[in-house]
Amino acid sequence: MAVDERNMNNIWSTLVQNNRVLESLSKKLAHFSAATDPCSDGSTPAAVAMILHQDRHDIEILFIQRASHDMDPWSGHIAFPGGKMEEGEMPCQAACRETLEETGIDLIEGTYLGRLSDIIGANLPVRVSCCLFAVDKRHLQPALNEEVRDLFWVSLSDLRDPGRRALSSVAFDDRVLSVPAIQLPVDNIPVLWGITYRLVMQLLAILEDNRAGFEECCRLPETVELLDVRETNMSIKESFFLDRDKAVLVVIDVQEKLCVAMDEVVLKSRVKNIGILMDSAAELNIPVILTEQYVKGLGTTLPELKEKAALAPCYEKMAFSCCGSQEFVAELKATGRSQVIITGMETHVCVLQTVIELRDAGLNVHVVKDAVMSRSKQNWETAIESMTLAGAIPTSTESTLFQLLKVAGTDEFKKLSKLVR
Q: What is the per-residue pLDDT for 16? A: 46
Residues 248, 215, single domain; the answer is no
Q: Indicate whether 364 and 307 sit together in one domain.
A: yes
Radius of gyration for the alpha carbons in the chain, expressed in angstroms and rounded? 25
Assign residue 294 the CATH number of its domain: 3.40.50.850
Residues shown for the chain: 421
| C-alpha separations of 235 from 200, 239, 241, 380 in Å | 45, 6, 10, 29
**Does 230 map to a domain?**
no
User: For residues 247 and 288, is the Cβ–Cβ distance under 8 A?
Assistant: no
Do 313 and 203 fall into the same domain?
no
Do residues 82 and 99 lie in contact, with contact meaning Cβ atoms separated by under 8 Å?
yes
In which element (H, E) is residue 131 found?
A: strand 126-134
Question: 195, 225, 255: which is the final residue of a domain?
Answer: 225
Closest among 344, 349, 348 to 380, alpha carbons compared:
348
Q: How far apart are CA 49 and CA 94, in angstroms?
A: 9
Q: How far apart are CA 288 and CA 305, in angstroms?
A: 12
Whole-number pLDDT of residue 97: 96
**pLDDT given for residue 364 in this prediction:** 93
Strands in 208-337 per DSSP E = 224-225, 247-252, 288-293, 314-317
Residue 231 falls within a domain, yes or no?
no
**What is the predicted pLDDT for the residue at 216?**
65
Same domain, 248 and 204: no
User: Measuring CA to CA, how many Å separate 213 from each of 14, 203, 219, 290, 390?
Assistant: 22, 10, 10, 31, 39
Query: Does the residue 356 lie in any domain?
Result: yes
Q: Please report, in tens digits, the pLDDT of each residue of the chain (421 residues total).
A: 344 545 545 544 544 444 566 777 878 887 775 545 444 556 889 999 999 998 878 899 999 999 987 666 677 899 999 999 998 899 999 999 999 999 999 998 899 998 998 888 877 788 899 999 999 999 899 999 999 999 999 999 999 888 888 777 777 766 677 788 899 998 888 899 989 999 999 998 888 877 766 666 666 555 555 655 555 456 778 778 999 999 999 999 999 999 999 999 999 999 999 999 999 999 999 999 999 999 999 999 999 999 998 889 999 998 899 988 888 998 998 898 999 999 999 999 999 999 999 998 889 999 999 999 999 999 999 999 999 998 899 999 999 999 999 999 999 999 999 998 8
Spatial CA neighbour of 59 closest among 210, 221, 200: 200
Closest listed residue to residue 195, CA positions, set 71, 29, 22, 47: 47
Q: Would you state the pLDDT for residue 27?
A: 80
Q: Domain residues for 110?
A: 5-225
pLDDT at 120: 85
Residue 289's nearest CA partner among 338, 322, 266, 326 is 322
- Same domain flag for 249 and 213: no
Between CA 409 and CA 148 the distance in angstroms is 63
Helix (H, G, I), strand (E, B) or coil at 180: strand
For residues 259 and 348, membership in a common domain is answered with yes
Distance CA 317, CA 350 (A): 10
Please report whether residue 266 resides in a domain. Answer: yes
290 touches 309 (CB < 8 A): yes
Mark whether 200 and 291 lie in a shared domain. no
**197 and 268 assigned to the same domain:** no
In-domain check, residue 365: yes
Region class of 166: left (phi > 0), else alpha (psi between -120 and 50), else beta? beta
Domain boundary among 225, 250, 274: 225
Q: What residues pair up with 180 in beta bridges, in sequence order? A: 167
Report how many domains make up the chain.
Answer: 2
Predicted pLDDT of residue 384 = 94
Tell me the CATH number at 14: 3.90.79.10
Contact of 116 with 130, CB cutoff 8 Å: yes
Q: Write the single-letter amino acid at 248.
A: V
- Asked whether residue 66 falls in the same domain as residue 106, the answer is yes
Q: Same structural domain for residues 393 and 247?
A: yes
Residue 162 domain-assigned? yes
The answer to whether residues 262 and 196 belong to one domain is no
Q: What is the pLDDT of residue 373?
A: 97
Q: How many alpha carbons lie under 13 Å from residue 287 in its C-beta half-sphere?
A: 18
Give CA–CA dist 176/179, Å, rounded. 10
Question: Contact 113/30 with Cβ under 8 angstroms?
Answer: no
pLDDT for the residue 73: 67
Residues that are catalytic: 253, 317, 350
Q: Taking a C-beta distance cutoff of 8 angstroms, is the pair 127, 44 a contact?
A: yes
**Nearest Cα to 156, choosing from 4, 11, 12?**
12
φ, ψ at 220 (rounded to 5°): -65, 130
Q: 178, 202, 225: which is the final residue of a domain?
A: 225
Same domain, 16 and 135: yes
Q: Is residue 295 part of a domain?
A: yes
Count CB-CB contacts under 10 A for residue 86.
Answer: 11
